[in-house]
Amino acid sequence: MFEKLNSKILLIVVFSCLICLSIAVGVARHFNQKELHSGIVDKSRAIHSRLRAATAFVANQGGLKPIIDSMTAKYKSSTEMTDEDKRAVLAQVPVFAAMKIGAEGAEQEHYSFRVFSDEPRRKENKATLAELEIFKKFEADPELLEWVSDDAKVVTVFRPIRISEKQGCLNCHGNPSMSPWGNGEDVLGYKMENWRDGKLHGVFALITNIDDVKAAKAKIELMSTDKQIGLFIGVGLILALVIAAVLVRGPLSRVKSVSEKLVSDSNDVGSAVSQIFSIS
């Protein structure tokens, strides 16, 4: 009887511990996932800030206008320029510097870099339907500086790129009448769009696959988060069994002792009653 009671109490304690452990693990995983997503967004923001700083740095050097003047002095049209000449020009374009830095750092920092526009000069930068929706958000609200898309698999942080007269953007995208070649084309031979200062030019997107981040994190850590949680459950269950056995054994022993004493006393009383009936 007491062995069955002992087993039942142990089972109740263990079951209760398992429920508590499951709740604790669920809460831990939820907050761990939330922290991971938050960390990805913060890192993406830091990278965006780095790209913006690179844009400002190149613009402040003021090298775009001088190199345009040198090319027009050397050649009669953009068709005469060599690939090396074009690379030299692009090196002085602020937004190109940001694009180059964003793309080159992507693999090492486990993200994908994408730039898109509704009117791109390169067809690979043409916005998809989904990207066009993001583009329109920035276009409709000049005060909107960031948009974050976050789901269970991918976190993407978008930031707008706007035409800046101060940074020299109108040298390539301004009024065609300002063409350095006098034919409505910019120094690289692209048609000038007659855009205005502040116009939305495109959007930078930093796309992070959550599984890739987890895999990279697992390589650094001794074990993955899921394995840590599994170990936590196993150790917790063993501790629960040990603690339950220690805590329950003492009280049950006392209950058993009292019960045996009552049974013994009951037997003594029964014996006395039998003797009285016998004498009677």
Q: What is the DSSP string of 43-87?
A: HHHHHHHHHHHHHHHHHHHT-HHHHHHHHHHH-SSGGG--HHHHH
CA distance 90 to 19: 62
Residue 189's pLDDT is 95
Residue 188's pLDDT is 96
The CA-based angle 251-256-260, given to 5 degrees, is: 150
184 close to 192: Cβ distance less than 8 angstroms: yes
* Cα–Cα separations (whole angstroms), residue 137 to 45, 88, 140, 181, 195: 19, 34, 5, 36, 19
With tokens 């220690």, the residue in question is 246
* Percentages (nearest 5) of helix, strand, coil residues in the chain: 65, 10, 25
162 pLDDT above the threshold of 90: yes
Dump pLDDT digits (tens) for 35-48. 889 999 999 999 99
Chain Cα centroid distance, residue 201? 26
State both tokens at 243: 């603690």
Dump pLDDT digits (tens) for 90-146. 999 999 999 999 998 888 888 999 999 999 999 999 999 999 999 999 999 999 999
254 pLDDT above the threshold of 60: yes
Q: What Rg, from alpha-carbon coordinates, does the chain have?
A: 37
Question: What pTM did the predictor assign?
Answer: 0.71
Residue 185's pLDDT is 96
Residue 278's pLDDT is 66
